[in-house]
Amino acid sequence: MMIKPELAKKMIEQVRNEFAASLQYLATAIYFEQESMDNTATFFYAQAAEENEHGMKLLRYVVETGGTAELLAIPAPVAKIKSAEDAFQTSLKWELEVTGQINALMDMAKQQNDYLAENFLKWFVDEQLEEVTTMEKFLNLVRKMGDKNIYMLEQLIKGA
């Protein structure tokens, strides 16, 4: 079954967005590692790996459904992380943006009556709920802790 060119193009843009998110999370992980917050760094390294998987999943879908898959340049991480609160605030913002992008893909799949794409994208819709919720939770906790108690985060984020 052939994917429609317009949807393939949008999905390839999303591949770029997911890889860009991966770089953003890598930059965030490095920030925490340099702050000697190794558990928080591990959390963000894992997020970076997940975003990479998301990008690959979308890319594989486009290729397998016969779409054109010309890869786009990946922008460098935009934000210089200034604090733990900044890191989680920025991460939440990215996740909300990605949620909007996934919803737009879903809208297009529905308009095209592309049931296969709808079914495929459903996984991403669910994944976004989980990622937004996680980032909201940690942003909330970080705000409650404040700078003075920020090392408490190391215990709370372990295994998250």
- Nearest to ligand FEO of 7, 21 (CB atom): 21
Question: Per rule CB under 6 A, is residue 51 in the interface with ligand FEO?
Answer: yes
Question: Per rule CB under 6 A, is residue 21 in the interface with ligand FEO?
Answer: yes
Q: Which residues of 12-37 are buried (b: 16+ CB within 10 A; e: fewer)?
A: bebbbbbbbbbbbbbbbbbbbeebeb
- Nearest to ligand FEO of 106, 145 (CB atom): 106
Alpha helices (H) in 65-152, listed in sequence order = 84-111, 115-145
- Nearest to ligand FEO of 9, 54 (CB atom): 54
Distance in Å, CB of 98 to ligand FEO, minimum = 4
CA atoms within 13 A on the CB side of 39: 11
Indicate which single residue of 3, 9, 10, 18 sits in contact with ligand FEO (rule: CB under 6 A): 18
Question: Per rule CB under 6 A, is residue 95 in the interface with ligand FEO?
Answer: yes
Question: Per rule CB under 6 A, is residue 54 in the interface with ligand FEO?
Answer: yes
Kindly report the backbone phi and psi dihedral angles of residue 65, in degrees, each rounded to the nearest multiple of 5, phi listed first.
-95, 10
Indicate which single residue of 98, 117, 142, 153 sits in contact with ligand FEO (rule: CB under 6 A): 98
Closest CA to 72 of 22, 117, 15: 15
Q: Is 99 exposed, middle or buried (0-12, 13-18, 19+ CB in 10 A)?
A: middle
Question: Per rule CB under 6 A, is residue 3 in the interface with ligand FEO?
Answer: no
Question: Per rule CB under 6 A, is residue 10 in the interface with ligand FEO?
Answer: no
Closest CA to 42 of 150, 158, 138, 140: 158
Interface with ligand FEO in residues 121-160 (CB under 6 A): 131
Q: What number of other Cβ atoms are within 10 A of residue 63's Cβ?
A: 13
Distance in Å, CB of 135 to ligand FEO, minimum = 9
Q: Which residues bind ligand FEO (CB under 6 A)?
A: 18, 21, 51, 54, 95, 98, 131
